[in-house]
Amino acid sequence: MFFQQISDSGCQSYIVGCETSCTAAIIDPALGQADRYLGIASREGLRVRYIIETHTHADHFSAAQQLRDALGAQIVMHRNSPAPYVDMHVEDGHLIALGELRFRIVHTPGHTRDSMSVQVGDRVFTGDTLLIGGTGRTDLPSGDPDQLYDSLFGKLLKLEPGTLVFPAHDYKGQGHSTIGAEIAGNPRLQKRDRAEFVAMMQGLNLSTPTHLTEALRTNMTGGKTVRQLLAEAAAGTPFLSLDELAERLEQRRNDFVILDVRERDAYARGHVPGARHLARGQLEMKVDETFPDPTIEILTVCEVGKISTLAAATLRALGFRRAVALDGGMTSWRAAGYPVDEGEEPALLI
């Protein structure tokens, strides 16, 4: 068996392959590691057939769709998964054949309704159901402490004590554990009475994961993250340097317009001299009447360069092919000591 564990800020994902057939599956891939999975598969000569998600993640962004597009693999999730992009829905007791390997599905709800664990040979990938020295939380959407109790004590902890445990999270660098070690030393598993266990889980009072709503939105619907949108916009948009903008101000060209796309109060507090104001939220509605000539060069400006990148990409999609974004935004412009105008001049407001 080929096996490699990939860590990404505490999130754990795995590549498991059959060396005889040169095929592999990727379990719980993180978006930030997408290129790494592709590199490992290429280096090892593995054809990735399946991308297995143990549950709908609320604390990181899945790379499942990106990897499917790049590799032609199938996305596998439990039948209770709400994600519309799943290719193969599985249930408790199902087997996924990968060359000589067999991936056995164990439905382990509790952390989420669609949580499942995947047993392969001498190891089990437990997602967020069983962690090293802990368990998955049950206070997020579709979580249920009663179901988690059944999944742990009725299923996972009945596996052979020597079964290796590989969770979807490990923040202490331990990598893996065993069923026997978790039974003996996991503090949460010492509450073997159902009522005590449920009461413990309900009283944890944990902080909300970073990017919770964005992660749930993208992982449940197949939508894009803000980071993806910015990356796509930047890939198709040229930028203008601060020095170049300073030179353009001196040139006073007639075919060059500076468009500040921040909110009006931010614009009033300080903007590039001569910049016109049109908030990003009204761009599509007003740009045509404001700029009837689509051949004009429009430089978009915001505070740090992100909103202006999206604005420039939108302008290009609308037909303003010379739209460009300021590299760094007003924050960098001020820091470099370039001139800033304050207040509002009615002629510059759109």
Model confidence at 37, pLDDT cuts 50, 70, 90, reads very high
Q: Which 3-state string (H, E, C) describes 260-307? A: ECCCHHHHHHCECCCCEECCHHHHHHHHHHHCCCCCCEEEEECCCCHH
In this predicted structure, the answer to whether residue 308 has a pLDDT above a threshold of 90 is yes
End-to-end CA distance of the chain: 63
In this predicted structure, the answer to whether residue 210 has a pLDDT above a threshold of 80 is no
Give pLDDT, residue 120: 98
Beta-bridge mates of residue 120: 123
* Mean residue pLDDT across the chain: 94
Mean pLDDT of 315-335: 96
Distance CA 74, CA 85 (A): 10
Mean pLDDT of 165-189: 94
Q: Token digits for 132?
A: 């090293």
Residue-wise pLDDT for 12-28, tens only, equals 999 999 999 999 999 99
Chain length of the chain: 350
In this predicted structure, the answer to whether residue 200 has a pLDDT above a threshold of 90 is yes
In this predicted structure, the answer to whether residue 193 has a pLDDT above a threshold of 90 is yes
Which CA distances in Å does 140 have to 171, 238, 324? 20, 41, 41
- Contact of 349 with 277, CB cutoff 8 Å: yes
